[in-house]
Amino acid sequence: MKRVFIHAYAAGNLGDDLLIRILCERYPRTRFVICADSSYKKRYADLKNLRVFSPDDRIVRYTDKLLKRVKNCDNGMWKLLLRSSYATVHIGGSVFVQHQDDFAPAYHLDCQLRRLSRRLYVVGANFGPYTDEKYYRLYRKLLSSYEGVCFRDRYSKNLFKDFPNVRYAPDVVFNYRQTGKVRLKKQALFSVIDLEGRGGKYSISQYAEEYYNLMAELAEQCIERGYTVKFVSFCRMQEDEKAVRMIIDRMGDKYEEAVSAFFYDKDERKCVNQFYESELIVGTRFHSIILGWLAEKKVLPVVYDLKTLHTLEDLGVEDYILLEDLKKVRASEAVERLISRSVIDVNGLKSKAERQFADLDGLLQ
């Protein structure tokens, strides 16, 4: 069995956790390894072809200490796994974003990943946003040396359209396959994020109050039309749960019995089931929109990032809410449009999304 190192954002975010699962399940005869905290041993206990190396593992502590003493090498286990693996898969969404004016630390990490990997592939990413032309130039040179790169939007692909190793395919999560049955409910599912903590280079924290208020109004309007409302948190670390509580606090007391919440922890399938049991999806998280379409639901996207906007443009979706338009939205009209809209046929997207793995299929199947 070939051993492949997974480089991913392993911080308890549903979207990224699904990407890791989809990758491992696609290649059951490949032995995958990943560095992540010990909770991931439980998250993926059923994946027999994935081994999680955690900082508190004895072998990790011993290897790090030994290589630090002998070679003055930091993160020794991580580097050893990279060097000794047949290939590295960098899987994730917003993995090439210029988050700060000083982007050197992130860039140097990607350079190190390239230098230590025998073969390096990117799956499911988007490129940008970025504001510094130097950022783009440096990554053009770096990505040209990768064995394969597959972006999830055409905007990113077109930034590297002259590169033979760069391709486009719809998002990886379109490859997710639901198992088991769930009971359909007259339920509206709301995926929300914490905007107060979204400062930095592309700050959207100024929209926080308007966003929380509108989410509360939309939820109330759904209840007025006979739906129950469930809020879903994708990532505890990024404080989705805090946003859920703040929105519920803004809702009138008379709606209390019709409102519930689901906080994703370690069971991805249970969280995904929330989408399949619902009729309506109001999605802020990028992958809440993808999961809503995949579950053949009526979806109202709330766009907080260019990655979402670029995907909506690729698919010709025109009815969505931008943060800068929050004040203009009449909640009652938005909910009426959501209820009356058609479900998007994603069968074509499912087959096209398999192309995210075209490079790896030739390597691992």
pLDDT digits (tens, 9 = 90+) for 159-191: 999 999 999 999 999 999 988 889 999 999 999
Start-to-end C-alpha separation, the chain:
11
Q: Is the pLDDT reported for residue 213 higher than 90?
A: yes
Q: Is the pLDDT reported for residue 61 higher than 90?
A: yes
| Strand residues in 54-100 grouped as ranges (E) | 87-91
Per the structure block, which two tokens stand in for 155?
A: 């905007």
DSSP symbols for 284-314: -SHHHHHHHHHTT-EEEEEE-SHHHHHHHHH
Q: Which pTM does this prediction carry?
A: 0.96
Superfamily of domain 187-347: Glycogen Phosphorylase B; (3.40.50.2000)
Is CATH 3.40.50 correct for 3-175+350-364?
yes
Sheet with 87-91, edge to edge strand ranges = 50-53, 31-35, 3-7, 87-91, 120-125, 148-151, 166-168
Are 231 and 190 spatial neighbours (Cβ–Cβ below 8 Å)? yes
Pinpoint the residues of the chain covered by CATH 3.40.50.2000: 187-347
Q: Is the pLDDT reported for residue 268 higher than 90?
A: yes
pLDDT at 67: 94
- Can you state the angle between helices 286-294 and 14-26, rounded to 10 degrees? 50
Share of the chain above pLDDT 90, in %: 96
